[in-house]
C-alpha cells in the first residue's frame, strides 16, 4: 500500500486528501508546511498568553487602586489627628505654664527681699492663662471647621488617588468613605475654666505680709548691727577692748566677732558676765586715801551685783520666739533705789556717841566705836542709821559708781547700755517679723490650696475625639467596561478584545507608629524652642518660654514627664534659702505638680494601615459593603468631575484651597510672638 493513494488504486493521479505525507517526508523529516504551521500555532499561543496575562494583571490592579484609595483617605484622618494632638498639647501646656508661673509668683511673694517682683510674675502667669483662653476658643472654632470639611477632604484625596492611577488604556472610578461619616467629637477639652484670681489674691496677701516681715527684719538687723558694733568694733571703743584693758580679759573669755551675722546678743551677755566676775575678783583700793576706799567698796558691791544680775539675764532668739532679757546696770541714785544694792545688808555699822553709823568699811577712820552689825543703804534714808560724815557711804555714792562709765564713751557700761537698748529694739522688730511670718504662712497655705484647685481644673478634661474616619475609611473602586487589550498583544494573530468591568473594596484605619515614640510630632514641630534658655534667679519671667517649650515637647512620651519640668521650674526660684515660708511653699507646690498624676499623652504619629473592611463596617453598623457601594455609585463617573466636586466641597467649608490657619499660638513669655498652626491644602486633589 502506498502513501497518498486510494486503497488498491494503481493510478498516478494526485491525491485529493491531505495526508501525513504533507507534513512528514518519506525519510522521516518534516515538510515545509509542517514547519510553517508549527510556527503559526506558537505565535498564536504566545500572543494569547500575553494578552491573558495583561488582562489578569489589569483585573487585579483595581484592588491595588482600592487599597491606595483607602490609605489616601485615612491619611487625611491622620493629619487631622495630628492637628488635634498639637492643639490639645498647646492648650494644656499653656495652662500648666500659666499656673506654674503663678505658683512661682506665690513663692517669690514669700521671699521678703523679692516680694515686689511677685506682682509682675503673677501678671505674667495671668496673661498666659488669658492668652490660653483666647487660643482655646480660636482653636476650637478652627478644629471644628476643619472637622466639618474632613469628609470632603477624605473623599477628595482618595478620589484624586484613584484618578492618579489611571493609565492611557485603563481608567478607574471610586473613592473612600469615612466612618463615622460625621463628627462624634467632644471639644470640651478646649474649653478654659482655669481661674487664678484666688491665687493672685493670696499672692497679694503674701506679698504684703512679706513686706512687713522685710521691714521688721531690716529694723532687727539694724539693731543687731548696732549692738554688735558696741560689743566688737571700737568706735571709739567697745565692750571687747574695754574688757581687755580694764579687766585683762583675753582669749575665749573675750573673743572678737568679725560680722553681725556671726554674732548673737548672748555673746555680749557672756562677755559682760566674764568681765564683772573678773572685776569683782580684782577689785581693791588703788591707794590708801579715804575717798578711794569708799569708791572701791562701792565698786566691789556693784561688780558683784552686776555679775549676779547679768548671770540671771537671758537671750532667746529662735525662728518662733525671741526674748531679750537684758537690763541696764544702775548708774544713778534713782536706779540704785530699785535694786538690792539699796536693800542688801552688807555695809558695816558702829556704835558712835551720836548714834549707829554706816561706813563703807571698818577701816574707815570714822568707825571708832564697837561693831553694830551690817545694814543696808536704805536704813540711812529710813532714819535709824546715820551716814558716816567721813566716808559718806550712801545710795548716792553707790549710784556714782557706774555713772561716768555709763555716760561717757570710754566706759564698759556705756557700750553695755547700747547693747541693752538695741536688744529691746531688736526684740520688738523680731516679734513683728515673727507675726508677719505667721501671716505669711497662713497666706501660703491658702495659696497652696488655690494652686491645687487650679491644677485640678487643668486635669478635668481630656480629648474625646471621634472625627469622620476615626473608625476607618472604606474605599470602593471600579473599572468601567470597554478597556481594550493593546493591539500589540493581538496583532494579526488574535481578534481584538476588551476587559470586562471590575470592582474592588478596601479599608484602612489608623494605628500608632511605634518607631516615632522618640520622635513625636511635637518634638519635631517645637524642638527649636528649647534653645536660648535664660537662667532663672531674678530673671524669672525670662524663663517662661523655656518652661513652656519643655512642657510642650515633654507632653508626650519622647521627653521628660510634665510634672518633672514644672517641679524643676519651681525649684529653680532663687532666694528661698533661709526663708521658711518660701521654702515650705515651694516644696508643697513642687510636690503638687510632681504628684498630680498628669498622664503623658500618646503623641506617637498615626499612620493608616489596611484592615478588613467588614471591621470598619461593623463599627459603623452596616451589614455589608453594598451600602458603601451605593453611595459611591451615586457620584459622577468621571474621575475629574468627582475630584472637582470634592474640592468644591472643601472650599465651601474652609473658604480656601490653599493654606488654612486653624489658630495662632501665642508663645508664653514672648510678647507678640505667635506661631500660626496651618494646614496646607494647595495639593488637594492634584493628580
Cell of 79: 493629619
Phi, psi of 20 (to 5 degrees): -65, -30
In the chain, where are the structural domains located? 50-193+460-680, 220-331+401-459, 339-398
Q: For residues 650 and 151, what is the distance between their CA atoms, to the nearest angstrom? A: 9
What pLDDT was estimated at residue 369? Answer: 94
Q: Report yes or no on whether pTM surpasses 0.75.
A: no
Q: In this structure, are residues 213 and 207 in contact, taking their beta carbons and an 8 Å threshold?
A: no
What pLDDT was estimated at residue 653? Answer: 65
Give bridge partners of residue 441 from the DSSP assignment: none
Locus of grid cell 517641679: 567
What pLDDT was estimated at residue 28? Answer: 64
Widest distance between CA atoms in the chain = 211
Q: Count how many residues are written for the chain.
A: 687
What pLDDT was estimated at residue 106? Answer: 82
Q: Are strands 347-352 and 355-358 parallel, antiparallel or unpaired?
A: antiparallel
Cell of 401: 559708781
What pLDDT was estimated at residue 591? Answer: 73
Nearest to 426 by CA among 329, 323, 272: 323
Nearest to 172 by CA among 687, 590, 542, 574: 687
What pLDDT was estimated at residue 70? Answer: 86
DSSP string, 214-266: HHHHHHHHHHHHHHHHHHHS-SS--HHHHHHHHH---GGGS---SSGGG--HH
Give the C-alpha distances (Å, rounded to integers) separating 571 from 97, 110, 117.
15, 14, 17
What pLDDT was estimated at residue 184? Answer: 78
Q: In this structure, are residues 187 and 144 in contact, taking their beta carbons and an 8 Å threshold?
A: yes
What pLDDT was estimated at residue 636? Answer: 59
Q: Are strands 674-680 and 659-666 parallel, antiparallel or unpaired?
A: antiparallel
* Residue segments in the chain with a per-residue pLDDT below the cut of 50: 1-17, 489, 494, 518-519, 527-542, 557-560, 685-687
What pLDDT was estimated at residue 83? Answer: 79
DSSP string, 450-480: HHHHHHHHHHS---B---TTSSEEEEEEEE-
Q: For residues 674 and 358, what is the distance between their CA atoms, to the nearest angstrom? A: 96
Q: Is 257 exposed, middle or buried (0-12, 13-18, 19+ CB in 10 A)?
A: middle
∠ CA 455-461-465 to the nearest 5 degrees?
A: 150
What pLDDT was estimated at residue 97? Answer: 79
Q: For residues 556 and 335, what is the distance between their CA atoms, to the nearest angstrom? A: 77
Amino acid at each position: 500500500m502506498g502513501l497518498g493513494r486510494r486503497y488498491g488504486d494503481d493510478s498516478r493521479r494526485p491525491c485529493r486528501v491531505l495526508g501525513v505525507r504533507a507534513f512528514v517526508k518519506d525519510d522521516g523529516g518534516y515538510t515545509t508546511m509542517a514547519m510553517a504551521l508549527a510556527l503559526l500555532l506558537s505565535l498564536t499561543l504566545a500572543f494569547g498568553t500575553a494578552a491573558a496575562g495583561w488582562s489578569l494583571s489589569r483585573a487585579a490592579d483595581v484592588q491595588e487602586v482600592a487599597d491606595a484609595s483607602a490609605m489616601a483617605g485615612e491619611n487625611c484622618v491622620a493629619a487631622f489627628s495630628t492637628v488635634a494632638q498639637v492643639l490639645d498639647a498647646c492648650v494644656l501646656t499653656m495652662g500648666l505654664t500659666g499656673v506654674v508661673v503663678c505658683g512661682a509668683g506665690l513663692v517669690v511673694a514669700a521671699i521678703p527681699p523679692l516680694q515686689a517682683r511677685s506682682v509682675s510674675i503673677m501678671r505674667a502667669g495671668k496673661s498666659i492663662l488669658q492668652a490660653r483662653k483666647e487660643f482655646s476658643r480660636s482653636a476650637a472654632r478652627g478644629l471644628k471647621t476643619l472637622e466639618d470639611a474632613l469628609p470632603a477632604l477624605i473623599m477628595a484625596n482618595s478620589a484624586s488617588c484613584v484618578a492618579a492611577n489611571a493609565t492611557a488604556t485603563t481608567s478607574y472610578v471610586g473613592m473612600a468613605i469615612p466612618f463615622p461619616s460625621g463628627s462624634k467629637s467632644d471639644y470640651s477639652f478646649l474649653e478654659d475654666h482655669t481661674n487664678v484670681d484666688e491665687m493672685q489674691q493670696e499672692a497679694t496677701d503674701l506679698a504684703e505680709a512679706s513686706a512687713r516681715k522685710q521691714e521688721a527684719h531690716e529694723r532687727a538687723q539694724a539693731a543687731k548691727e548696732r549692738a554688735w558694733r558696741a560689743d566688737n568694733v571700737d568706735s571709739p571703743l567697745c565692750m571687747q577692748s574695754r574688757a581687755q584693758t580694764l579687766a585683762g580679759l583675753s582669749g575665749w573669755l573675750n573673743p572678737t566677732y568679725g560680722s553681725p551675722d556671726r554674732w548673737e546678743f548672748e555673746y555680749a551677755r557672756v562677755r559682760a558676765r566674764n568681765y564683772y566676775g573678773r572685776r569683782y575678783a580684782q577689785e581693791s583700793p588703788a591707794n590708801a586715801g579715804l575717798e578711794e576706799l569708799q569708791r572701791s567698796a562701792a565698786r566691789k558691791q556693784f561688780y558683784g551685783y552686776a555679775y549676779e544680775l547679768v548671770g540671771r539675764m537671758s537671750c532667746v532668739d529662735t525662728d518662733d520666739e525671741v526674748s531679750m532679757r537684758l537690763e541696764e546696770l544702775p548708774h544713778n541714785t534713782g536706779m540704785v533705789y530699785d535694786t538690792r544694792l539699796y536693800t542688801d545688808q552688807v555695809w558695816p555699822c558702829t556704835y558712835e556717841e551720836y548714834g549707829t553709823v554706816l561706813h563703807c568699811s571698818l577701816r574707815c577712820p570714822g568707825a571708832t566705836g564697837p561693831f553694830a552689825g551690817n545694814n543696808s543703804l536704805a536704813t540711812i534714808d529710813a532714819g535709824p542709821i546715820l551716814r558716816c560724815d567721813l566716808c559718806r557711804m550712801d545710795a548716792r555714792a553707790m549710784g556714782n559708781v557706774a555713772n561716768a562709765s555709763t555716760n561717757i564713751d570710754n566706759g564698759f557700761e556705756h557700750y553695755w547700755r547700747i547693747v541693752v537698748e538695741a536688744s529691746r529694739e531688736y526684740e520688738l522688730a523680731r516679734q513683728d517679723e515673727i507675726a508677719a511670718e505667721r501671716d505669711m504662712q497662713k497666706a501660703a497655705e491658702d495659696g497652696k490650696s488655690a494652686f491645687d484647685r487650679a491644677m485640678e481644673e487643668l486635669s478635668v478634661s481630656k480629648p474625646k475625639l471621634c472625627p469622620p474616619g476615626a473608625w476607618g475609611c472604606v474605599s470602593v473602586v471600579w473599572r468601567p467596561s470597554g478597556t481594550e487589550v493593546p493591539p500589540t498583544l493581538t496583532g494579526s494573530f488574535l481578534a481584538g478584545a476588551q476587559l470586562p468591568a471590575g470592582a474592588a473594596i478596601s479599608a484602612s484605619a489608623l494605628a500608632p507608629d511605634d518607631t516615632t515614640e522618640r520622635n513625636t510630632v511635637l518634638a519635631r514641630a517645637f524642638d527649636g524652642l528649647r534653645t536660648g534658655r535664660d537662667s532663672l534667679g531674678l530673671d524669672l519671667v525670662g524663663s517662661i518660654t523655656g518652661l513652656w517649650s519643655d512642657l510642650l515637647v515633654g507632653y508626650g512620651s519622647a521627653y521628660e514627664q510634665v510634672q518633672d519640668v514644672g517641679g524643676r521650674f519651681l525649684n529653680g526660684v532663687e532666694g528661698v534659702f533661709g526663708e521658711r515660708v518660701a521654702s515650705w511653699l515651694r516644696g508643697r507646690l513642687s510636690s503638687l505638680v510632681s504628684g498630680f498624676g498628669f498622664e503623658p499623652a500618646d503623641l506617637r504619629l498615626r499612620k493608616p494601615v489596611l484592615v478588613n473592611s467588614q471591621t470598619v463596617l461593623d463599627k459603623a453598623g452596616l451589614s455589608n459593603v453594598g451600602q458603601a457601594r451605593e453611595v459611591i455609585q451615586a457620584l459622577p463617573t468621571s474621575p475629574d468631575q468627582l475630584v472637582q466636586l470634592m474640592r468644591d466641597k472643601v472650599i465651601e467649608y474652609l473658604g480656601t484651597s490653599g493654606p488654612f490657619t486653624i489658630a495662632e499660638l501665642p508663645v508664653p513669655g514672648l510678647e507678640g510672638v505667635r506661631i500660626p498652626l496651618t494646614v496646607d491644602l494647595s495639593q488637594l486633589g492634584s493628580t
